Structure 1
Amino acid sequence: MVKYLKLAAAVAFFMVGLALLAVPPPSSGTPPVIRDRQTAVLIGALWDLSGNSRSQGEAALESVRRAVKIVNAQGGVRRRRLQIVPADTGGSLATLLLKARELVENPAVLALIGPVNEELSHALREYAESNRIPLILISGHEPLLPFRRGAATRWTFSVAPGLAPSIKVFYREFQRLKLNPIGPLVADNRYGKRASLWLAGYGPEYHLNILPARKFKTDNTDTRVGVHDLVREGANALVAWGPRKSGVGLAWSIRDTGLVLAVPAGMISADLLKAAAHSVRLWTAAPPIMAAEAVPSAHPCAFSVSRFRLLHRDMAGKYSPEELMAAGASWDALHLLARGLSASADFSRAGLMRAIEDADAYYSGVMGQFRPSSRDHSGLNPSSLL
């Protein structure tokens, strides 16, 4: 179900139902002894720890450190200890590629996690593909399709809330509420062009009339022209795609129209929630970690979210939405890699890649349910979004 976000709920998400977050104690007995400590499994993490997105990078780093501590306390991965190797990108493309090269050249580094800056996700993906090292993206909206001509993905996976699963959630809800036609707003760049095709392509499946997409400049805070064009054409709801920084401009432009504005979770920020408060009907397909209240016990991700919140209770009310998603995605990335290493035939990059791709069951994390496959390297189950 699409979740209607409110600023107060998003910022103080931890405070509701905290008493319910107790998790079962570890199984009785002594955890397996970790052997070969000198041959720890290294995971490289490329985050902005000093630039404009440093708060997200710091949240990601702290979350992964806690995840690694849990895995190692349970005996590591096949009795080998996990170790995170953080690298500060400073939010710079040049620094990102330099740090990535340093990590790739270390044969003990079996995989990469990152980045928190969505603008850098495509470059890191291309680098990982060229250098044949598994990468778990924690930001970005691009579909990761191994069979796609000219942009095939072999080594890159994702735990970020992608565009396609979000579209399915939105369109299912639009269909249920009989909101039709739908007006798309997309960023004026190559990713926006691709997004407009996806937005139009899913329309017939849900019996929705998708109007021609209107484009907006990502550095333009005024998108009223596109909004008004769609309103004149009869749009009963708007769905938007663009970088996170464009969200505030969209919210200001849609004020007082009374229309729903649906955006992927990757566009949600504290600034957007503030701009939308009381005047915009803002929807998103929310990862379970963003639930304002306790996740229902029947939800497949309920235990993971409860454990995450319990182990991060000292951060209650301190994370912004974007910091929370960076922390949650990094947490899931680490656990997805740990599961892959446990199933891998050997401790090699190729073995890890194959193990992640060949998983025979969903990984239920805090960002949703994921089952990467040879056809989709995200494998996010839309039904696990809220």
Structure 2
Amino acid sequence: MKKTLLIQKLEVFKKEFYEISKSIIQPSIISDQKEYKKLLKKYTKLEKIVTLYEEYNKKLSLLEEINFILKNDSNTEMKEFASTEKYKVLENLSFIEKKFENLLFSSKEKYTTEDHRNAAIVELRSGTGGDEACLFVEDILRMYTMYFKKSGWKYKIIHAQKGGVKGYKEIILEIYGEKGVYGNLKFESGVHRVQRIPKTESQGRVHTSAITVAVFPKVEDIEVDINLSDIKKDTFRSSGAGGQHVNKTESAVRLTHIPSKITVECQEERSQHKNFEKAISILRSRIYQNEKEKRLKKISIKRKSLVSTGDRSVKIRTYNYPKNRVTDHRIHKSIYDLSGFMNGNIQKMINLLKLFEKKSI
């Protein structure tokens, strides 16, 4: 970004910041929680930019003074000192400009900010392989929950559908933590393939099964406005835990967003109202993801890899039990500690994917 264009853009942000500073303290805004949260979010972001811009201006003023000395001062020692200081100031300016690159981005690059989100929705579904795929969903669920524990994150199950014998056909989780929850988990979207000898296999043959993982950033209601008239609501009896309650009331909820045809089910809570709230939360995240993918296609952003596209049809990883190996096909990296990996030690692979993504953008 050229310096003149950068300053012009920063001046626009500075003006917007002071306008928001005035409006955010108005009683009419404070009383409107939805608008207040929206403005507060903008204010916090712009405050970082404006603070950095003030520091940037100070360095530019100092550079002008140094250039004046170098041009007009006849003192040799003073010129030598100014020359040394100029080098330091130019380095500082370059460092600040790199910071601006991380803070400022065009609308075409907005998707990068989602990495900092502190909440995500993770959906696991069995694919090819029948009962073995359902068992692998359970194994991957355990792997993730152990990873969440190591990361200091919390999670809760929103929806679960048991498999025919054991395991799960489908399970949906909501994860909360510090910044970067989505930025780490987004790499898990895709097809996870397992190669192992099933317990039911009498002849010791290795079978291949697969499951799909989908990861969405959890979004707030101010980010996705859902018109309730666009939603079809169905209720049914839960098939999950709950004892006699399961058979007596239709507490489970199924929501269908008519415009996008996205369907969400939730049955983990005992009350229909709570299940509805959770289903709306998942629906909002899926609609957001859907719109994001449309936007990326529309502006023709071409990535050099499939690392963070979230494409669930792409085979991303193979878990080979006989060889104690897990391989990520996007970066052609294998780790020969499958038992450790399945016990939640997946951060090393995620870090490699982050590094590859950074180089590929």
User: Which bracket does the TM-score occupy, shorter chain normalised?
Assistant: under 0.3
Q: Which has the higher strand share?
A: 2
The higher-RCO structure (CA 8 Å, 6+ apart) is 1
Query: Which structure has the larger Rg?
Result: 2
TM-score between the two structures when normalised by the length of structure 1: 0.22
